[in-house]
Chains A and B, each alone.
Chain A
Amino acid sequence: NAGVTQTPKFRVLKTGQSMTLLCAQDMNHEYMYWYRQDPGMGLRLIHYSVGEGTTAKGEVPDGYNVSRLKKQNFLLGLESAAPSQTSVYFCASGTGSTEAFFGQGTRLTVV
């Protein structure tokens, strides 16, 4: 049972480069989330989706875009990476009544 899978696990980008992080879940969850984790800041919500074809901004959306074209996938894009986006990114999925199930995280460094 794969659960929530994130790719890639690690990535180093140069300032200004773009990339897409992929999150896939096989639990038929309606809700999917992207969080970033920074020292002393806990998990901060970037964007979320409550169903296929829907997305919404979270607490720290600037510099990121997302898409949910298929129910099982939630993509996080960085159009022009900045050093401030160096972080560990977690994808999670769930339903309105359940806890969140997390992927293994993506460590991104922007130099």
Chain B
Amino acid sequence: ILNVEQSPQSLHVQEGDSTNFTCSFPSSNFYALHWYRWETAKSPEALFVMTLNGDEKKKGRISATLNTKEGYSYLYIKGSQPEDSATYLCASKSGGSYIPTFGRGTSLIVHP
């Protein structure tokens, strides 16, 4: 079982703040890194699929970067809004396995 670590575990910010989270994963035999958004009482939904070192993806105010050589990815949210409140999960496919291993997530709460 590969260790995928996310930090921080939880984060409280004010509306309008920008924030970022970290996902670290095993860098050997890397295949893909996924970011998911998981709202309370719903199912996780994919935000980004990242495969190449140096990848940068953007969707509206949310963006992500990937460093496969050192085994980390950052997720950024610019100008946080209350509707951004959710748990953000990352999942790694590494070590020759196509099975996603999930981190424990970062819980973001944006206060109006």
Interface presence of A41 (CB below 8 A): yes
Number of A-B residue pairs with CB-CB distance less than 8 Å in the complex they form: 50
Q: Choose, from B14-22, B55-63, B70-78, B100-108, the stretch at the interface.
A: B100-108
Q: Mark B80-112, 1 if CB is under 8 A from A, else 0.
A: 000000000101010000111111110000000
| Residue contact A100 to B100, C-beta cutoff 8 Å | yes
State in angstroms the CA–CA spacing of A104 and B100 once bound together. 18
Measured CB to CB, the nearest residue on chain B to A104 is B43
Residue in contact with B43 in the complex, picked from A41, A94, A97, A103, CB distance below 8 Å:
A103
Q: Mark A28-69, 1 if CB is under 8 A from B, else 0.
A: 000101010000111111001010000000110000000000
How many B residues face the partner with a CB closer than 8 A? Answer: 22
| Residue contact B99 to A31, C-beta cutoff 8 Å | yes
| Residue contact A42 to B104, C-beta cutoff 8 Å | yes
Q: Mark B1-21, 1 if CB is under 8 A from A, else 0.
A: 100000000000000000000
Interface presence of A98 (CB below 8 A): yes
Contacts of B32 in A (CB 8 A): 97
State in angstroms the CA–CA spacing of A44 and B36 once bound together. 15
| Residue contact A99 to B46, C-beta cutoff 8 Å | yes
Interface presence of B26 (CB below 8 A): no
| Residue contact A100 to B46, C-beta cutoff 8 Å | yes
| Residue contact A105 to B43, C-beta cutoff 8 Å | yes
CB contact under 8 A between A99 and B102, given known A59-B1, A104-B43: no
Q: Mark A56-93, 1 if CB is under 8 A from B, else 0.
A: 00110000000000000000000000000000001000
B25 to chain A, nearest CB (A): 14
Contacts of A33 in B (CB 8 A): 99-100
Contacts of A43 in B (CB 8 A): 44, 89, 102
- Partner-A contacts on B (CB < 8 A): 1, 31-32, 34, 36, 42-46, 49, 89, 91, 93, 98-105
Can you list 10 A-B pairs, Cβ within 8 angstroms, ordered by A? A40-B104, A41-B104, A42-B103, A44-B102, A58-B99, A96-B31, A99-B46, A100-B34, A100-B44, A105-B43
